[in-house]
């Protein structure tokens, strides 16, 4: 609801009135651990169906939940400026990972987080947890876990600034592809909605998440694979041109094996189509290098 209200408020700034259409996805009601028997799109299919059925004209997703498979019925009309990509360790007293007792119970529903936690502390007991932020916090406060891992973006958006937590560095915990970004979809044949939502698009964020999601798509990772990726647009120190830098990691679920690749490309000034192609090529290049190093085997073993 925060995400939908945010998009509505941004559209209002440009003079467009909106109406919120609350929906409930399977991912919201089915809190069983996500495993290989469950399909991707638990959080997005119901919202996309609302577009198909003309219940809504705009679908607002957490981009990291949106499947990478192309669907000609929809178009990603906008990717607004990204919120923070960091993950945080949340506990009753806001202690660091190193300060947790031996064998501490950590709650996360992500194999990406599990693998990186295990690589930092092999003694930890990583347990699945589902539900919204409030549900997860109630389980923490009820003593089921010593700590849980949350995306910092969700904490910030809910204005839970006093929540006791320690933010992981990117070296400790690389984010999921698309983490912290919103993906706003419309029907591909709805020219008015596509043009309207275009006002909210942030080119730097879009190029970054294209590169990240291309890695995920090329490695056929889906939501279960221990794949992390982060891309960012920066100014070159040499000539001031914009550069897109991408780092991606594939790990074994026990954290003992880690494959990492980093690459970058120079972006063309004022050439959106060329830069989208460059971001896709960057993602493909990084994925190919990871695959050659054995990423496919690590991904297969996680399923």
Residues known to be catalytic:
65
Cβ within 8 Å of residue 186, ≥6 positions away: 51, 57, 58, 59, 74, 75, 77, 193, 194, 197
Whole-number Cα distances in Å, 217 to 68, 179, 224, 287: 6, 15, 13, 9
**260 Cβ contact partners less than 8 Å away, ≥ 6 residues apart:** 247, 248, 249
Separation CA 182–CA 6 (nearest Å): 10
The SS3 of residue 135 is helix
Question: Is residue 18 exposed (0-12), middle (13-18) or buried (19+ Cβ within 10 Å)?
Answer: middle
C-alpha 278 chain-centroid distance: 21
Interatomic CA distance for residues 13 and 7, integer angstroms: 10
Cβ neighbours, 10 Å, residue 59: 27
Q: CA-CA distance, 101 to 99, in Å (whole number)? A: 6
d(C-alpha 261, C-alpha 263), whole Å: 7
Q: What would the two tokens of residue 92 be?
A: 């009753």
> Cα(193)–Cα(279) distance, rounded to whole angstroms?
25
């Amino acid at each position: 609801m925060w995400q939908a209200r945010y998009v509505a408020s941004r559209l209002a700034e440009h003079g467009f009135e909106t109406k919120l259409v609350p929906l409930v996805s399977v991912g919201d009601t089915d809190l069983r651990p996500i495993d290989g028997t469950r399909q991707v799109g638990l959080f997005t299919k119901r919202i996309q169906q609302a577009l198909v059925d003309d219940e809504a004209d705009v679908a607002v997703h957490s981009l990291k939940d949106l499947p990478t498979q192309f669907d000609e019925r929809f178009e990603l009309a906008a990717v607004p400026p990204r919120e923070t990509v960091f993950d945080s360790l949340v506990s009753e007293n806001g202690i660091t990972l190193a300060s947790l007792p031996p064998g501490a119970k950590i709650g996360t529903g992500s194999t990406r987080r599990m693998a990186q936690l295990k690589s930092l502390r092999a003694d930890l007991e990583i347990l699945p947890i589902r539900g919204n932020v409030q549900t997860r916090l109630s389980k923490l406060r009820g003593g089921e876990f010593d700590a849980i891992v949350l995306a910092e973006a969700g904490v910030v958006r809910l204005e839970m600034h006093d929540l006791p937590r320690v933010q992981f560095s990117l070296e400790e915990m690389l984010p999921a592809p698309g983490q912290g970004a919103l993906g706003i979809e419309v029907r591909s044949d709805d020219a008015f909605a596509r043009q309207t939502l275009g006002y909210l698009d942030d080119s730097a964020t879009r190029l970054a998440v294209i590169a990240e999601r291309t890695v995920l798509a090329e490695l056929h990772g889906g939501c279960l694979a221990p794949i992390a990726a982060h891309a960012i647009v920066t100014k070159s120190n040499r000539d001031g041109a914009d550069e897109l830098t991408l780092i991606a990691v594939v790990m074994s679920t026990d954290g003992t094996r880690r494959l990492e690749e980093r690459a970058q490309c120079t972006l063309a000034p004022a050439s959106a189509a060329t830069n989208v192609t460059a971001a896709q090529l960057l993602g493909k290049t990084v994925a190919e290098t990871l695959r050659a190093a054995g990423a496919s085997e690590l991904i297969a073993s996680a399923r």
